[in-house]
Structure formats: C-alpha cells, structure tokens
Amino acid sequence: MRDMLTAALKDAVKAKDTRRVSTIRLILAAIKDRDIANRGTGKDPVSDEEILQILSKMIKQREESARIYEEAARVELAEQEREEMDVIRSFLPAQLSDEAVQTACRRVVEETGAQGLRDMGKCMNTLKTRFSGQMDFSKASGMVKDMLKH
C-alpha cells in the first residue's frame, strides 16, 4: 500500500494534479502519524489493513465536513471535500453492494454461531477482518443487529 501511495504521489506531481498531490500527502501524513504512535507503544509500523481503516476514517471525516459546508452554503468547500473523497476512494478496494454486505453479514452470523446481541462484537470483528475497507461497517452493524434480534 505504501509503495502504491508513493508511486501515485510521484505521478500526481508529474501531472501537476494539485488536488491529488495534496490529498495523497494528507494520507501519507496520517499513516506516518499512526506509525509514530505505534512506535511509542512498541507496536509494528502500520499494516495494509490499518491503512485501509485510516482511509475509511478519512472518507467519513470528509463526508461530515462536506455536509456541514453545504448547510453553511459553502458549496465550493463541500466540492473540495468530495474531490478529496474521490482521490481517497481510488486507493480503497471496490466497495461491496448492499446485497453483498447483507449476504456477508448473514454468513458471519451463521459461521460464528451468534445467538443474540451479546455476540455482536464477535460478528463485527470477523467482518472487519475479512472485509476491511470494502464496506461501511456502521451499515453492516445495523444489519447484524437486526439479524441477531430475530
């Protein structure tokens, strides 16, 4: 992942794509911050799975910012946030459709033998391990919760 991001940064600099350059630099800075935090606690540098989590978090932050900017009638800033989201999404694996998320949730509930809401954490951890960066886990959480209630 790191090599892919570094290569993308070089390409964006050569193409003089300022939005892409600045967004990739933000991604690399977030990864470096996490590396430094991990070093302080004796953990290994950030893995590809953790990078996917960082990218997902960055998208969520930008969605929230874009919503706030739109409410404040700052359309140009909202558009900037959306452009950054598109750049970040380009480094994430393809997102699963709602039907595929539903199927994955159902399969995990069956495989883990989940009986009720107390098994929710076990199901979500399995989903996060298998589908990191491929689904919105807040939506998946709602689906799993519904399945465990019945």
Q: What is the pLDDT of residue 5?
A: 95
Q: Structurally, what CATH architecture does the domain formed by 2-89 represent?
A: Orthogonal Bundle (1.10)
Is 11 or 133 the better-scoring residue by pLDDT?
Answer: 11
For 39-52, write each residue's pLDDT tens digit.
888 888 888 888 98
CATH classification of 98-149 is 1.10.10.410, yes or no? yes
For residue 3, give both structure tokens: 């090599």
Q: What is the mean pLDDT of residues 25-31?
A: 96
For 55-72, write each residue's pLDDT tens digit.
989 999 999 999 999 999
Domain ranges of the chain: 2-89, 98-149
C-alpha–C-alpha distance, residues 144 and 107, integer Å = 10
Residue 33 above 90 pLDDT?
yes
- Within its chain, how far is the Cα of 103 from the centroid? 20
Residue 13 above 90 pLDDT?
yes
For 100-145, write each residue's pLDDT tens digit.
999 999 999 999 888 888 889 999 999 988 887 788 888 899 999 9
Q: What is the mean pLDDT of residues 15-19?
A: 95
Report DSSP letters for 78-102, one per residue.
HHHHHHHHHHHHTTSPPPPPHHHHH
Q: What is the pLDDT of residue 3?
A: 93
C-alpha–C-alpha distance, residues 148 and 116, integer Å = 5
Q: What is the mean pLDDT of residues 11-17?
A: 96
* Matching fold, domains 2-89 and 98-149: no
Residue 150 above 80 pLDDT?
no
